Each structure stands twice: as C-alpha cells, then as structure tokens.
Structure 1
Amino acid sequence: MVQTTSNQLKNRLRRADGQLQGILKMVDEGRECKDILTQLAAVRSGVERMMGVVVAENVKQCIAENQLDEDQQAELQDALDLVVKTH
C-alpha cells in the first residue's frame, strides 16, 4: 500500500478508535440511546469508508498503471472514487 494511503488509513483508524472510546464513556455515563446510536453510526460509516479505501488501493496495485492509457486511468480513478464514497 502506498505510504500516503497507509498514513491516511492509520489516521482514520485512530479517529474510529477515539470515537469508540467516546462511546464507551457515553455508555458508562448512562447517556441516551439515541446519542449512542448516532455515534455508532458515525463509526460504522467511517469503517465502511476505510474498507472502500483499502479495496480501491488494492485494485490500483493489481492493475499496473503502465497498462492503461490516460483515459482508462481517469475512468478507473473515477470508479474507485465512487467505491470509496459509497462505502
């Protein structure tokens, strides 16, 4: 995995970890179910986006860029961006 992507993924994981720690604190404090569910949904969304990033990076690595012309590279990048946004 490219170093920049690796660093981005680590940052996302740290953010999710922080959110989960916050949720644990909310549970300990007896916070409202609605508030906890809202935070859980945020964590889930973040994890799904990370999954999209990992899949997109894997696809990029599997298809050597020198095998694609510029138009094909742009189309591939658009498709990968869509995968990341929808996960």
Structure 2
Amino acid sequence: MPDAVHDADVTRRVANRLKRAHGQLAAVIAAVEDGGDCRAVVTQLAAVSSAIDRAGFAVIATAMQECLAEDDGDEGRARMAELEKLFLSLS
C-alpha cells in the first residue's frame, strides 16, 4: 500500500496530534512513577489513547480517499479491504 500520509496538511495535523499524545504519555508515566491519583492517571491515559486513535483514523481516512480517487478495479478493492481491516483494528 502506498504511503497515505503525503498531504502536507494531513501530515502536520497527524504529527501535532502524536506530539500532544507523546507529551500526555510522559505526564502519565511521571504520575504513575510518582504514585499519582489513579483517577487522574486513567483520565490522562484515556486522552493519550484517544489522541493516538484519532491520528490513526486520520491516516486511514486519507488513504481511503486516495483509494476512492484512484479506483483501479480489483487492486483498489483489495487496498480498500486492507484499509478497512486497519480501521477496524483501531476501534
């Protein structure tokens, strides 16, 4: 499958989302190591998970748009089926 994250705007948004998740994850790790409140840890962990999921969905959505635009018969349908599996793996 070709690299789906080639659009500069999509790349920037996905990278920003992952950078925020990276920062949130660092805060979660620090809170766990420092014996932080479990509710706060779980809340931050949920935020990290959501940010990563949204980044994955953005990458897959872009790839699906490209597949629809290319629509090259059996090969396009096979790529779309592969992307659907990736999408479902995030849900």
SS at match of 2:35: coil
Q: Which residue of 2 aligns with 1:52?
A: 57
Question: Is residue 25 of structure 1 aligned with residue 36 of structure 2?
Answer: no
Q: Which runs of 4+ in 1 moved over 4 A?
A: none
Question: Is residue 14 of structure 1 aligned with residue 19 of structure 2?
Answer: yes
Q: TM-score, normalised by structure 1?
A: 0.69
Percent identical among aligned pairs is 35
Flag structure 1 segments of 5+ consecutive residues without an equivalent.
Answer: 68-82
Q: Which amino acid aligns with 1:47?
A: I
Aligned Cα RMSD in Å? 1.9
Flag structure 2 segments of 5+ consecutive residues without an equivalent.
Answer: 1-5, 72-86
Deviation at 1:28, TM superposition (A): 2.1
SS at match of 1:31: coil
Q: TM-score, normalised by structure 2?
A: 0.66
Q: Which amino acid aligns with 1:12?
A: R
